[in-house]
Amino acid sequence: MTQKYRQVAEIFASFAWRALLLGYLILVIWMGMMLWPGDVLCHFQQKLFDLTLHECNIVLYGGIGLFKLLLIVCYLIPWLALRWLLHRK
Rg, Å, the chain Cα set: 19
Res 38: pLDDT = 66
The ranges assigned to domains in the chain are: 3-87
pLDDT for 79 beyond 70: yes
pLDDT for 14 beyond 90: yes
Helices (H) and strands (E) in the chain, counts: 4, 0
* pTM of structure: 0.83
CA pair distance 19, 42, nearest whole angstrom? 27
pLDDT for 89 beyond 70: no
Residue 73 has what DSSP assignment?
Answer: I
CA pair distance 9, 15, nearest whole angstrom? 10
CA atoms within 13 A on the CB side of 87: 6
Res 25: pLDDT = 97
Rounded to 5°, the CA angle 20-25-27 comes to 95
Average pLDDT value for residue range 42-70: 89
Res 48: pLDDT = 86
